[in-house]
Amino acid sequence: MGWQFSSNVASPYFCRYTAPMQTENYDIIVIGAGHNGLTSAAYLAKAGYNVLCLERRHIVGGAVVTETDLVEGFRLDTCSSYHVVINGTPVIADLELEKFGLEYLDVDPWGFAPFPNGNYIMFYRDVDRTAESIARFSPRDAAAYRAFMRRWMRFNETMMAVFCAPPTPGGMAGAVLRHELKDGRWRSLFRESLTGPAETAAMLRTIFSPYGKVIEETFESEEVRAALSWLGAQSGPGPDEPVSGELLAMQQSLYHLLGVRRPKGGSGMLTQALARCLEHHGGTVKVNQAVRRILVENGRVSGVETVTGDRYSAPLVISNAHVQTTLLKLLPEGTLRPGLRKRVKNIKVANGFGMTVRYAMDRLPNYTVLPTRNEMGEVLAGEQHRAMQLLCPSPGYLRQTYADARAGRPPEKPAVIAMTPVVVDPTLAPPGKQVLYIWAQTHPFRLSNGEDWTDIKQREADKCLQVVEDFAPGIKEAVLGQYIKSPVDLEEIGGLVGGNLMHIDMSIGQMFMFRPLPELANYRTPVKGLYLTGASTHPGGGVSGAPGYNTAHRVLSDLARTGNEPRPGLVKAGAFGLGFGLGLLASKKYKQPPRAPETE
């Protein structure tokens, strides 16, 4: 019989911690119960290992968390909210997360971009419906959008396979080949995506250009340019970042290819399901257990020690924490070679990323360009309220926010994404009430003007709400309660160094086999038995579960190689064999705790 529970009940993963009577022994310890840490832990527990996952907060989830104690009666996602990339990975199906309470709700349309001139764009999963919305004011851009998406959706279908493969030339090439030979036929990415030299040149030019330039060369209307610029900015780099065109092409095509969804009950229901899955397979989750240091003996990990002085031993440790936190703060001094330590310290982490504001609301925003207020004065739910509401009037407006951030000051007029998810999921608020989520980007962590985020975060939250007010007058009067998370809060609460949601910058020099550094890209570290996962690793930030999936399979492959195989038939490790699916795991169940594999 499967797990049965309501997504409205209080989470079982709040404040659960039993102090150990003595040092506890495990096969594998995972530091951090974010969604990637839990994904790794669940795969490894399913494979038969005794896994412990330690979380510093009172609740699992990291940046994928829904909290019920911030505004009475409301369930608030305090960081991530809408999920895209995980829809294209094997994680949900492999771990059978629906059995552990995960229920996804489709969000379609997924985007709504209003403009001061009265125009708006509605982005649907269906490309043709989206193009029809654009055609109302720019038939040329509607045709250009169809062509752009046709070109990139096929290409990025294969790129999803690369996301769930080791970031080595052989691993990525093997992933592409396996995907192209799927179903026993040669699908030919290049034949279907590239129809000739001109098409090939256009794709290469997109990949190597700033995404702002790609948009300006491809589309003519300010509305399309503004909406796509703001969507392209969601990974962090600004529109003038070199070699960022693929970020735009990837993100935009995946919205259509995979769709946008959110878990019923809140974004954090994903991590709650992962935690239940982990425990179902014999793993253990402990909250309120911040790790103070990773224990190392003779160049090998031997366990961890928490800030409360508790010790847990294991020959393998996976860190879901920021790469700099893991290697510069948790490891004993002198463990890393000086040169590597310096390179880790110099990994590019932008000065902040953004801030979130969550409001409990009496009603929905009534957008001027698409009003839904009835004769009784009620604001009725429309398609625009299902979607992410993209509030960025022009590309110049967006560039100014990046200029403000580079100068070390919060944007005077922030670009924001507003979300009203109760329209999709009524469980998030009491009957007749709403929530309004705001994500605002380009807010620096370190301020250059001497101000302190503690003093100004209300002022900056008010600026964000004013942007919504400009498009939907009267919305400020409907606020019942609020929760603000500044860039400093993102670091202090979530462990996100510098307030950067992606851990480290998503620029081309820190992607694929360069993330976080070439010598760390395959999830191993020079310390035997210590592995990395999370947004610091390939393929990067966002809700995908791919870093956790990849790390688990890296560990399983290494353990199989050293004779510490998991249970038979539970894990697919072809991606971590010889690039093209060789090196399948052996089927013998282990008898002794695994020995840390040689990683040097």
Poorest-confidence range of 96-105, 411-420, 428-437, 564-573?
Answer: 564-573
What's the mean pLDDT in 155-180?
76
Q: In what order do the strands lie in the sheet with 300-306?
A: 24-25, 311-313, 300-306, 291-297
User: Which one is predicted more confidently, 272 or 191?
Assistant: 272
Read off the pLDDT band of 1 (50, 70, 90). very low
Kindly tell me if the per-residue pLDDT of 2 is higher than 70: no
| Rounded Cα gap, residues 305 and 301, in angstroms | 12
Kindly tell me if the per-residue pLDDT of 7 is higher than 60: no
| Rounded Cα gap, residues 84 and 107, in angstroms | 10
Segments in 194-337 forming alpha helices (H):
197-208, 211-218, 222-232, 245-258, 269-280, 323-324
Query: How do residues 71-124 score in pLDDT, each as one tens digit?
Result: 999 999 999 999 999 999 999 999 999 999 999 999 999 999 999 999 999 999
Tokens of 558: 């290494």
* Contact (CB, 8 A) for 56 and 66: no
DSSP annotation of 328 reads: I
Q: Which helix (H) or strand (E) holds 156?
A: helix 139-163
User: Which one is predicted more confidently, 245 or 519?
Assistant: 519
Q: Which residues contact 43 (CB under 8 A, 6 or more apart)?
A: 94, 95, 548, 549, 552, 553, 556, 571
Distances in Å between the Cα of 477 and the Cα atoms of 92, 481, 489 are 40, 11, 26
Kindly tell me if the per-residue pLDDT of 533 is higher than 60: yes
Residue listed under structure tokens 């989750």 = 285
Distances in Å between the Cα of 455 and the Cα atoms of 411, 460, 478 are 16, 10, 24
| Rounded Cα gap, residues 594 and 314, in angstroms | 9
Read off the pLDDT band of 352 (50, 70, 90). confident
Could you give the angle at the alpha carbon of 230 between the alpha carbons of 229 and 235, nearest 5°? 100
Q: Kindly report the number of other CB atoms within 10 A of residue 368's CB atom.
A: 14
526: number of CA atoms within 13 Å, CB side? 14
Nearest CA-CA partner of 94 in 29, 44, 160? 44
Q: Which residues contact 24 (CB under 8 A, 6 or more apart)?
A: 52, 312, 313
| Rounded Cα gap, residues 230 and 239, in angstroms | 9
| Rounded Cα gap, residues 27 and 46, in angstroms | 13
pLDDT, residue 99, reads 97
Read off the pLDDT band of 466 (50, 70, 90). very high
Q: What is the pTM of this model?
A: 0.88
Residue listed under structure tokens 């996602």 = 77
What's the mean pLDDT in 260-287?
98
| Rounded Cα gap, residues 376 and 254, in angstroms | 40
32: number of CA atoms within 13 Å, CB side? 30
What's the mean pLDDT in 370-376?
91
pLDDT, residue 243, reads 80
Q: What is the dihedral of CA 145, 150, 153, 157, to 10 degrees?
A: 180
Q: Which residues contact 201 (CB under 8 A, 6 or more apart)?
A: none
DSSP annotation of 427 reads: G
Poorest-confidence range of 134-138, 194-198, 397-401, 460-464?
Answer: 194-198
| Rounded Cα gap, residues 407 and 455, in angstroms | 19
What's the first-to-final CA gap in the chain, in angstroms?
A: 45
139: number of CA atoms within 13 Å, CB side? 0
Query: Residue 292 — φ and ψ, nearest 5°?
Result: -90, -40
* Contact (CB, 8 A) for 49 and 594: yes
Q: Kindly report the number of other CB atoms within 10 A of residue 107's CB atom.
A: 25
Q: Which helix (H) or strand (E) holds 39?
A: helix 35-46
Kindly tell me if the per-residue pLDDT of 162 is higher than 50: yes
Q: Which domains are present in the chain? A: 24-65+266-348+500-576 (3.50.50.60), 135-261 (no CATH), 354-495 (no CATH)
Residue listed under structure tokens 């860039």 = 487
What's the mean pLDDT in 442-470?
95
Nearest CA-CA partner of 112 in 129, 95, 96, 91? 129
Q: Which residues pair with 440 in a beta bridge?
A: 355, 416
CA gyration radius, the chain: 24
Percent of the chain surpassing pLDDT 90:
70
Kindly tell me if the per-residue pLDDT of 598 is higher than 60: no
Give exposure, 13-48, as e/b (b: 16+ Cβ within 10 Å). beebeeeeeeebebbbbbbbbbbbbbbbbbbbbbbb
Distance of CA 482 to the CA centre of its chain: 24
Q: Which residues contact 400 (CB under 8 A, 6 or more apart)?
A: 411, 412, 413
3-class DSSP state for residue 533? coil
Read off the pLDDT band of 597 (50, 70, 90). low
Query: How do residues 486-523 score in pLDDT, each as one tens digit?
Result: 999 999 998 888 888 888 888 777 787 889 999 999 99
* Contact (CB, 8 A) for 398 and 226: yes
| Rounded Cα gap, residues 10 and 14, in angstroms | 8
Tokens of 236: 């962090």
Mean pLDDT across the chain: 87
Tokens of 64: 């994928």
pLDDT, residue 164, reads 83
What's the mean pLDDT in 441-454?
92
3-class DSSP state for residue 38? helix
Question: Residue type for 507, please?
Answer: S
458: number of CA atoms within 13 Å, CB side? 4
Query: How do residues 11-61 score in pLDDT, each as one tens digit?
Result: 445 444 445 545 799 999 999 999 999 999 999 999 999 999 999 999 999
* Contact (CB, 8 A) for 250 and 156: yes
Contacts made by residues 290-293, CB under 8 angstroms, sequence distance 24+: 290/54, 290/56, 291/31, 291/54, 291/56, 291/321, 291/330, 292/330, 293/330, 293/331, 293/332
Query: How do residues 142-157 score in pLDDT, each as one tens digit?
Result: 999 999 998 888 888 8
Could you give the angle at the alpha carbon of 528 between the alpha carbons of 525 and 529, nearest 5°? 90
Kindly tell me if the per-residue pLDDT of 578 is higher than 50: no
| Rounded Cα gap, residues 233 and 415, in angstroms | 10
pLDDT, residue 58, reads 95
User: Which one is predicted more confidently, 271 or 198?
Assistant: 271
* Contact (CB, 8 A) for 335 and 527: yes
Q: Which residues pair with 52 in a beta bridge?
A: 29, 284
